[in-house]
């Protein structure tokens, strides 16, 4: 009985839920892959797969299935290993559940900004304290999670902001004042005759 319970709790014995509407169509991509495999066969053998070619197609298929099962199990084991490591989405979901339960709903803008200001004051007093910097990150994530509709929106905004910063032009840090923030280079706007971000309105 014990062995039966252990077997039934494994993912391989757990039925998957009914599918829902997804994002991308699979068959067009599958057809592209099949065509690319056909072209590879032509390049390798001089022709595509043909009948009565001297090979046992059933044995070929069987051997391929064995490889397929091994590769699939490898992927599942590696995926489970990744899932056991740190996940930003899991962390933010857990953090959101916690602060909503402890501090309640709502944006709490004033309370959060006051709390962040206090943490920044502590960083100024002791900038080498890693935990104080982490406190600011946690509070920043809380503000973002209270502003966004869901965790995925926060992660998407975080990635979009990184992409935006990576695409911007920045001055040489060696020429910058170490005690002042380094701002990205703002392009010149011919319309209003000033330097500002393209996505922001002109000053005129």
DSSP letter, residue 123: H
Q: Greater confidence, 196 or 20?
A: 20
Question: What backbone phi and psi angles, to 5 degrees, belong to 102?
Answer: -90, -45
The predicted-structure confidence for 123-173, as pLDDT tens digits, reads as follows 999 999 999 999 999 999 999 999 999 999 999 999 999 999 998 888 899
Average pLDDT, the chain: 88
Dump the DSSP string for 7-34: HHTSGGGSPPPPP---SS-SHHHHHHHH
Q: Greater confidence, 33 or 198?
A: 33
pLDDT the model gives residue 87: 84
pTM over 0.85? The answer is no
pLDDT the model gives residue 115: 97
pLDDT the model gives residue 82: 67
What mean pLDDT comes out for the span 90-117? 95
Q: Greater confidence, 65 or 21?
A: 65
Q: With a cut of 50, say whether residue 1 has pLDDT above it.
A: no
What mean pLDDT comes out for the span 81-99? 85
Burial profile 104-142: b = 16 or more Cβ within 10 angstroms, e = fewer: eeeebeeebeebbeebeeeeeeeeeeeebeebeeebebb
Phi-psi region of 193 (alpha: psi -120 to 50; beta: other; left: phi over 0): left
Per domain, the residue ranges of the chain are 88-169
What mean pLDDT comes out for the span 26-40? 94
Q: With a cut of 70, say whether residue 6 has pLDDT above it.
A: no
What does DSSP say about strands 194-195 and 188-189: parallel, antiparallel, or unpaired? Answer: antiparallel
What mean pLDDT comes out for the span 27-55? 94
pLDDT the model gives residue 77: 86
What mean pLDDT comes out for the span 112-123? 97
Q: Is 20 exposed, middle or buried (0-12, 13-18, 19+ CB in 10 A)?
A: exposed
Q: With a cut of 90, say whether residue 4 has pLDDT above it.
A: no
């Amino acid at each position: 009985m014990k062995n039966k319970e252990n077997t039934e709790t494994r993912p391989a014995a757990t039925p998957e839920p009914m599918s829902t509407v997804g994002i991308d169509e699979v068959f067009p991509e599958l057809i592209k892959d099949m065509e690319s495999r056909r072209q590879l066969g032509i390049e390798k053998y001089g022709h595509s797969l043909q009948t009565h070619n001297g090979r046992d197609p059933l044995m070929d298929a069987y051997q391929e299935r064995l490889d397929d099962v091994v590769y699939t199990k490898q992927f599942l084991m590696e995926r489970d290993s990744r899932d056991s490591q740190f996940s930003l989405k899991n962390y933010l979901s857990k953090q959101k559940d916690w602060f909503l339960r402890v501090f309640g709903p709502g944006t709490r803008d004033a309370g959060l900004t006051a709390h962040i200001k206090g943490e920044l004051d502590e960083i100024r007093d002791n900038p080498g304290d890693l935990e104080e910097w982490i406190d600011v990150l946690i509070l920043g994530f809380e503000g973002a999670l209270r502003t966004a509709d869901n965790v995925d929106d926060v992660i998407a905004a975080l990635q979009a902001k990184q992409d935006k910063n990576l695409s911007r032009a920045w001055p040489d840090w060696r020429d910058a004042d170490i005690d002042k923030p380094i701002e990205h280079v703002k392009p010149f706007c011919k319309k209003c005759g000033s330097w500002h971000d393209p996505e922001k309105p002109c000053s005129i």
